[in-house]
Amino acid sequence: EVQLVQSGAQVKKPGESLKISCKGSGYSFTNYWIAWVRQMPGKGLEWMGIMYPADSDIRYSPSFQGQVTISADKSISTAYLQWSSLRASDTAMYYCARQPGGGGFYFGGVDVWGQGTMVTVSS
Amino acid sequence: DIVMTQSPDSLAVSLGERATINCKSSQSVLYSSNNKNYLAWYQQKPGQPPKLLIYWASTRESGVPDRFSGSGSGTDFTLTISSLQAEDVAVYYCQQYYSTPSVYGFGPGTKLEIK
């Protein structure tokens, strides 16, 4: 079974750092894009960025460039999203998701989603 | 950035009736070299991650009921549910993957309810 399993919910204080994870299984992890999507409480979906693990091609949405870091460890089929200094406005559900593609292109919609990681930032 | 918009914001339809949701992109998402529209539709139910319904604007994802269909080309697209079922109550999003999406890569969503 193809799945993406995300790390558990986090409660942090403003200014703290955080790294959440997304482990892929049941498919060739390096040959699909992994995207990160934010959903603030009661709001819509926001594209944060995307990475192709095979060649470490990472593309950030301009709104999130410099605010988060996307990375992956191919050896354990795991992608990461990290913050160096959280803000209350980072409180949201974060989804990782798989998108077919290669050669710098996308070959279809986001077909597999993780269960989401809820991040709460509060003093 | 390609900006996606949707209409209406919300929609109430009777069971068994047709539901139509529109999506518009600020520039064409039709790639001329392969004549494909880089547009997908998703369904999100409360407390769940989104689910892919349609990609390439009109190709139904495996396992998606055939009452869901997508149409359109270039900048204007439509998701149609031919006969609304109770389990179709959800928020529906369109998304372009023609270019690396910005925060506006998804449409704002359309909330579908039963009348």
- Mean pLDDT value across residues A7-34: 97
Cβ separation of B109 and A44 shorter than 8 Å? yes
Q: Which residues of chain A from 25 to 64 reach within 8 Å of chain B, CB to CB?
A: 37, 44-48, 50, 59, 61-64
Res B83 pLDDT > 70: yes
Cβ separation of A108 and B56 shorter than 8 Å? yes
- Mean pLDDT value across residues B49-57: 97
Name the 3-class secondary structure at B33: coil
Percentage of residues in chain B having pLDDT higher than 90: 92
What is the average pLDDT score of chain A? 95
Name the pLDDT band for A86 (thresholds 50, 70, 90): very high
State how far the Cα of B115 lies from the Cα of B113, in Å rounded to an integer. Answer: 6
Q: Which pair of tokens denotes residue A120?
A: 């709460």
- Mean pLDDT value across residues A28-56: 95
| Bridge-based pairing state of the strands B39-44 and B51-55 | antiparallel
Query: According to the model, what pLDDT value does residue A102 have?
Result: 85
Query: According to the model, what pLDDT value does residue B99 have?
Result: 85
Query: According to the model, what pLDDT value does residue B12 have?
Result: 98
Query: According to the model, what pLDDT value does residue B1 have?
Result: 85
Q: What does the pLDDT look like over B19-46, one tens digit per residue? A: 999 999 999 999 999 999 999 999 999 9
Q: Which of A2, A43, A47, A60 to mutate to test the interface with B (most CBs of B within 10 A)?
A: A47
Res A95 pLDDT > 90: yes
Identify the closest residue of chain B to A6 by CA–CA distance.
Answer: B49
- Mean pLDDT value across residues A13-33: 97
Q: Which of B100, B103, B106 sits opposite A63 (nearest CB)?
A: B103
Q: Where is pLDDT greater, at B99 or A74?
A: A74
Q: Which pair of tokens denotes residue A16?
A: 């703290």
- Mean pLDDT value across residues A83-87: 98
Query: According to the model, what pLDDT value does residue B103 have?
Result: 65
Res B105 pLDDT > 90: no
Q: Which of B1, B55, B104 sits opposite A109 (nearest CB)?
A: B55
Which residues does A6 contact at the CB level (< 8 Å), separation at least 6?
A: A20, A21, A22, A23, A94, A95, A96, A114, A115, A116, A117
State how far the Cα of A81 lies from the Cα of A72, in Å rounded to an integer. Answer: 9
